[in-house]
Amino acid sequence: MRATDMHATDMHAPRTARMDQRIRALARVRGFSPLRLQQLLDLPPEAKASYLRRHSCITFSLVAVACVIAFVLPHIPRHSPAPPPAPRWLAAGNVQSITLHSTVLSTESTVITQAGTYQVGGAVSAATGDAARLRIDAGKSGEWRELCIESLIRSRCYPLLQE
C-alpha cells in the first residue's frame, strides 16, 4: 500500500465505524442472523452506505405513510346508516270481542274488531270498545306487523300471527 492509500483508509475509519454501529443496531432490531450481520459488516464502505441509505428510505416511507393514515383517516367523513323508517299506523276499529287460546306451548288470542279478525301472540288485556290500530314496521328482514290496543287496563302491541 502506498502512503496516500493509508491516509484515505484512516480518514474513512470513523465513518465506517459509525456505519458498522448502525448496521449492528439494525441487526438487533430486525433479528438478523450472525452470518447476515457479518456479511453486512464485511461489505466495502460504499456498499454499506448504499444499504443504510436504502434502509433509511424504506423506513422513512413507512413512517410517512403511517403518519398520513393517522392524521387523515379520522377526518374522512363517515356515512352513518339511514335511520329506520317510521312505523306506519292503520286504523283497525274498536275491539268487539277477544278469545284466548291457551296451550301447553303457547298462548294466542283472536281479536275481532270492526275492521276484521286478527290472530295475535300472547294474552290480550282489553275491553270491548277499546281502540285498535295496526302498526307496520319495515326493517331489513321485511315487514313486522303488530296489533296495538289502547286500553285503560293495559295499552300494548301484540305480534300478528295471521291477518
Q: Could you report the per-residue pLDDT of 114-139, keeping only the tens digit for each?
A: 999 999 998 888 889 999 999 998 87
Q: pLDDT tens for residues 81-116?
A: 778 788 899 999 999 999 998 888 888 999 999 999
User: What backbone torsions phi and psi does residue 74 show, to the nearest 5 degrees?
Assistant: -65, -20
- The pLDDT of residue 4 is above 70: no
Give residue limits of the domains in the chain: 3-75, 88-162
Q: pLDDT tens for residues 58-86?
A: 778 888 888 888 888 788 887 777 787 88
| Distance spanning both ends of the chain, measured CA to CA | 105
* Pairwise pLDDT comparison (29 vs 86), residue with the higher score: 86
